[in-house]
Amino acid sequence: MQNDVIMAGFGGQGILLIGKMLAYAGMHEGKEVSWLPSYGPEMRGGTCNCTVVISDNPVGSPVIQSPGAVLAMNLPSLEKFESDVRPGGFLLINTSLIERKAERDDVEIVEIPANTIAQDLGNARGANMVALGAYVGATGAVSLEQIEAVVRQTFAAKPSVIDVNLEALHKGYDLGREHAANSSEETAS
């Protein structure tokens, strides 16, 4: 089994961080992983994305032309990567910053207001954690327990932010699981 995702947004949203966390969680589960970052010269505020592959088998290339999933945190990312998702794939859209609907009808669409949820939790910088949780909840790419462990490890030097990030992760995870359950019910009907 292989899960591959392009996570995209603008510099400063923590896109590369959540991609790396996802890769570490996969690695800790004994999977083969790759993490390939890409960012514009502008850095903060410029475009940024990463490709993460988690597989039971060796990863042939970290470059994925047609990913199984795209996590789009802003409109330029959706416009750039929406058409790349392979048919039957998964598209997660941050509706807090993206007002338009997806143009595809051959992929599963998950709309999460990640920034709004993070702000409601009192963690305005936690939108990336909400999105990561939603991705993990909807796809099962890694276990919740493993991603929680990576969050704790990542923020070990800043213990005051661990709980708020875990709360954002859990909120996103619950929304992703809810979507997956609803999707399964629709398929069964």
In the chain, the domains with their CATH numbers are: 2-188 (3.40.920.10)
Pairwise CA distance, residues 157 & 161, whole Å: 9
Give this prediction's pTM: 0.92
Q: Give yes or no for residue 98 having a pLDDT over 70.
A: yes
Q: Give yes or no for residue 185 having a pLDDT over 90.
A: no
Pairwise CA distance, residues 92 & 99, whole Å: 13
3-class DSSP state for residue 125? helix
Separation of CA 64 from chain center = 16
Angstrom CA distances, 176 to 15, 32, 180, stand at: 18, 24, 6
Q: Which amino acid makes up residue 85?
A: V
Name the range with the highest mean pLDDT among 35-39, 116-120, 179-183, 184-188.
Answer: 116-120
The answer to whether 16 touches 50, Cβ cutoff 8 Å, is: yes
